[in-house]
Structure 1
Amino acid sequence: MSADDTHLGESWALSPDSRRPLPELIEQKLREQIIGGTLNAGDRLPTEPELARKLDVARSSLRTALQRLQLQGIVEVRRGLGWFVRRTDLAAVEEHLEGRLAARQFSQSDLLEVRIALETTATSLAAVRAGDGELDELAKLNLRYQRAPVDDVQEVLESDEEFHSALIRASHNELLEQMYQVLVPGLQDCKRHAHPSREVHIRSANEHDQIVWFLRRHDEVGAKSAMTTHLLGLYDDVAADDTTPRATLGTYVGVSDNPIWGKSR
């Protein structure tokens, strides 16, 4: 049974709570439709363009909400087919890793350490696998991020995530990409709580450029190290009050001195 054909008359109006980020409001509405019984396990959701039209939202915000539900194990994406309801039993959801992540049962430091491990590996793979078109797209996405007004939190978050997601895809490792997507909603929460200053925003965009620079030269070590340096900035902010010994550049790339890739090119 397809939700496209069966539930066209349902109300898709979002909550008017302007204090909450738009993806959270979309997530709430989709959860109401799914867990309230309007949609059942195995049902296919409307396509992303149709859902965006129903909810009157941008597809980027919709995709973030769907990823949050994917994190909780409520929906799943099937390549080439679309989004499907995975389960509606919240008790069962909370037993899974996705549910624990959604319930924030892991520290932000834990989350970011796993993110660094996954994304730096993806960056190394992208250095040997990414095509010219993918690299051009990364440069364009970083330009969008660079131009995002610092006071527009949603645009800063979305443009940054588009860049990092595109880099993950450029690794051409489907399992790694799926593992990363499980972390995305939690990562966005970390970023939202550590909203950057204008100086940090500019530095971050410059670091994106540096990563692409190494990728274009197929330099796996330089690209991985540049990405590690980039991600450690957020990690150091988040882990500042954590009593657990912090990870360093050497934890991930095996160096202890100031690396050449951290210097101006």
Structure 2
Amino acid sequence: MYDALKPIKPRKIYEEIIDQVKQLIAEGVLNPGDKLISEKELAEKLQVGRSAVREAFRALEAMGILEIRPGEGTFVRRVEPQALINVLSLVLMMDRDTTEELMELRKILEVESAGLAALRHTPEELAQMEEALAQMEADIKAGDLGEKADWKFHYAIAEATHNSLLVELMNTIAGTMQRVLRTARMQLYMTPGTPQRLLNEHKAIFLAIKEGRDQDARRAMFDHLDKVEKGLRI
């Protein structure tokens, strides 16, 4: 019942400052290009030491959120898409225990991707998906895990969205995703009938995309990812 509870860790002052600055940006109080008040002023308002504010500013700069200009001050950075991709890549490299987070990210990215692919795919992209499905089927017969064909199928869907940023995000998580896919399949395959069930789920996604049924494609993708996520928790 209480398995989901996690130990509460004490937070450092600079982490609290980071959260407050990020909240001001999220609420639109601070916008890209805005200059922040000085370290001294912020320290006085928050009733903390200047060293904590300085550490928070440096961390926010490393995240690509703030820009510190010597002699001018600290500004909210105008975030470019590539900067977001670089940060995501860094997080994935630093944290190898990302299975749960990756499954959440996949739902965010791939459910909508399936819907867009249903509306935008080309015959060539459908052929790539079919090729991946055929490889999955061959892998099942050979007793292989088939994680490479699995990745190829999902990547083909991303390409069929014709959204270059989405494809680049998929490339960013490629290494981590293939590792997780292999681990997931090793665990899921312990349940009889799972290989064929996974193949059928992929076929349902493909059919909805092929027939241009975008809502059905989204639903099929969500159901597939949700079942995989639940299977990994058992």
Give the TM-score normalised by structure 1.
0.50
Quote the Cα distance in structure 2 between the aligned partners of 1:106 and 1:97: 14
- Equivalent position of 2:164 in the other structure: 174
Once the two structures are superposed, residues 171-209 of structure 1 have per-residue CA deviations (whole angstroms, 9 ceiling, x without a partner) of 110001111222222222222222242621111111111
Tell me, yes or no, if the aligned pair for 2:111 and 2:218 is still in contact at 8 Å: yes
1:1-265 to structure 2, matched below 5 A, reads: 96-104=87-95, 107-149=98-140, 151-153=143-145, 156-194=146-184, 195=186, 196-197=188-189, 199-240=193-234
Deviations 1:233-252 (A, max 9, x none): 22113345xxxxxxxxxxxx
- Structure 2 partner of 1:9: none
Whichever residue aligns with residue 152 of structure 1, its letter is D
- Deviation (angstroms), 1:117: 1.0
Task: Give the aligned partner of residue 32 of structure 1.
Answer: none
Alpha-carbon distance between aligned partners in 2 of 1:176 and 1:96, rounded to the nearest angstrom: 15
Whether contact under 8 Å (2:111, 2:222) holds in the other structure is yes
Distance 1:192 1:103 in 2: 20
1:125-178 C-alpha deviation (Å, 9 max, x unpaired): 11110022321331221011111046434xx11111111111110111000111
Secondary structure at 1:218 match in 2: coil
- Provide closer, same or farther for how the CA distance between residues 177 and 207 of structure 1 changes in structure 2, counting only shifts above 3 A: same
Question: Larger % of helix: which?
Answer: 2
Native 8 Å contact 1:115 1:183 kept in 2: no
How far 1:103 moved relative to its partner?
A: 2.7
Alignment-derived partner of residue 39 in structure 2: none
Q: Which runs of 5+ in 2 are unaligned?
A: 1-85
> Structure 1: which 5+ runs fail to align?
1-94, 241-265
TM superposition score normalised by structure 2: 0.56
Deviation at 1:99, TM superposition (A): 2.6
CA contact (8 A) 2:92 2:98 kept: no
8 A contact 1:115–1:180 mirrored in 2? no
**8 Å CA contact retained: 1:142, 1:209:** yes
Aligned counterparts of 1:145 and 1:209: Cα–Cα separation in 2 = 10
Structure 1 CA distance, aligned partners of 2:197 and 2:114?
19
Aligned to 1:53: none
Larger Rg: 2
CA contact (8 A) 1:215 1:223 kept: yes
Query: Would you say how many aligned residue pairs link Structure 1 and Structure 2?
Result: 144
Aligned to 1:39: none
Measured after TM superposition, the shift of residue 105 of structure 1 is 5.5
Which letter does structure 2 place at the counterpart of 1:235? Answer: E
User: Percent of pairs identical after alignment?
Assistant: 25
